[in-house]
Amino acid sequence: MNKDIEQVGFEEKYFDTGEVKLHYLVGPNNGLPLVLIPAQGLSLESYQRVLVPLSKDFQVFAVDVRGHGKSSWTTGNYNFPNMGKDFKKLLENIIQRPAIISGNSSGGLIALWLAANVPDKVRGVILEDTPVFSAEWPRLRDDCFIYRIFKLSTETIGSSQGRNLVAFIKGMEVPIEGKQKVIQFPVWLTGIISIMVRFHEWLKPGKPVDLPLLPAEARMMIKSFSEYDPDFTRAFVNGRACKEFSHAEALVKVKCPLLVLQANWFRHPKFGLVGAMDDKDLEQLHLLAPHAQYKRITSGHMIHFENPKQYIKEVKEFAVQDIVR
């Protein structure tokens, strides 16, 4: 936790659900509780740019999902009902009042599960570039570029030979809209990062890999990937994370205010959907939850990190217009 966050009154805490120990940050009680749930592979540190501004109007709870950050691992038990129950217990025992739940990517699916299954604990839901429908099985495997990244992660970070962050970075490929070719990290850059990672692992074995000299996003992602349980991603590669959770059935049950934030996306002729949702997904979402609001944001997948001012604006407007009225 950096000094700016600590100075406004955030505290680092843990909550034992009986099955998992959840790590979270909680800010001063300046309004409605706002629960922030990070994306797959990332820790609550991804929210560092928005915690202080949001804490002026909300009591912010930023939480590491099981298997991520400083929360404990539950290898073999990663699915949305289990993750949802973790947050249900947090809402019941720690927050103790209905909250706004904002989740990024798979964190948004946890938020959706909560709205459908514990509606009395949820005042409103923000789905931040959440893969509604596209993260269901087998579509995730058959139609989504991100599946390739998940598979690479299990083969490198989750390798039986040991966690290999360097191989993951070297193997990363990103499609470009309108082009057949993909881009990769430049060889010279992966070489430098490789040296930095290996030196850190030698100097601080078993500790999260924190490389302050890297750009903020790369630093945050490498640190998060160095400390999360790769079985979480393996659960998406083999489909077990996606079972027992129908997105359509959940959406029909959601009666609280719902805001959908969609980041950039496109379809690639070889890799399928590059992004979280396409237009057909949005059409289906609105058929099932016609009260949902929708905003398209020019941003990458982590809107709160890449476009924090816009994210803060959307959260505050949603709370004022739809929650407190």
Q: Domains in the chain, start-ordered, CATH in brackets?
A: 3-323 (3.40.50.1820)
Q: Enumerate the H helices of the chain as residue ranges.
A: 3-7, 51-55, 80-90, 106-117, 139-143, 146-156, 165-171, 187-203, 216-227, 231-237, 247-253, 279-288, 303-306, 308-318
pTM for this prediction = 0.95
Per-residue pLDDT of the chain (325 residues; tens, 9 = 90+): 788 999 999 999 999 999 999 999 999 999 999 999 999 999 999 999 999 999 999 999 999 999 999 999 999 999 999 999 999 999 999 999 999 999 999 999 999 999 999 999 999 999 999 999 999 999 999 999 999 999 999 999 998 777 888 889 889 888 888 877 788 878 888 888 888 888 888 888 888 888 888 888 888 888 998 899 999 999 999 999 988 899 999 999 999 999 999 999 999 988 999 999 999 999 999 999 999 999 999 999 999 999 999 999 999 999 998 676 5
Provide the pLDDT for residue 321.
83
**The predicted structure's pLDDT at residue 324:** 61
Q: Which pLDDT does position 268 carry in this prediction?
A: 93
At 239, give phi and psi (nearest 5°).
90, -10
Q: Can you say whether the dihedral through the CA atoms of 28, 316, 220, 226 is positive or negative?
A: positive
Residue 47 CA to its chain's centroid (Å): 10
What is the CB neighbour count within 10 angstroms for residue 320?
A: 11
Count the neighbouring beta carbons within 10 Å of the beta carbon of residue 210.
15
CB-based burial of residue 119 (10 Å sphere; 0-12 exposed, 13-18 middle, 19+ buried)?
Answer: middle
Q: C-alpha dihedral over 56, 295, 318, 322, to 10 degrees?
A: 180
Helix (H, G, I), strand (E, B) or coil at 16: strand
Phi-psi region for residue 172, left (φ > 0), alpha (ψ -120 to 50) or beta? beta
The answer to whether 145 and 268 have CB atoms below 8 angstroms apart is yes
Give dist(CA 121, CA 115) in Å, integer: 8
pLDDT of residue 3: 85
Sheet strand arrangement including 58-63:
11-16, 21-26, 58-63, 32-37, 99-104, 122-128, 258-262, 293-296
pLDDT of amino acid 157: 92
pLDDT at site 162: 78
Q: How far is CA 160 from CA 69, 157, 230, in A?
A: 21, 9, 11
| Contact of 42 with 223, CB cutoff 8 Å | no
The closest alpha carbon to 101, from 89, 85, 113, belongs to 113
Query: How much is the pLDDT for 12?
Result: 98
Token pair listed for 117: 């299954």
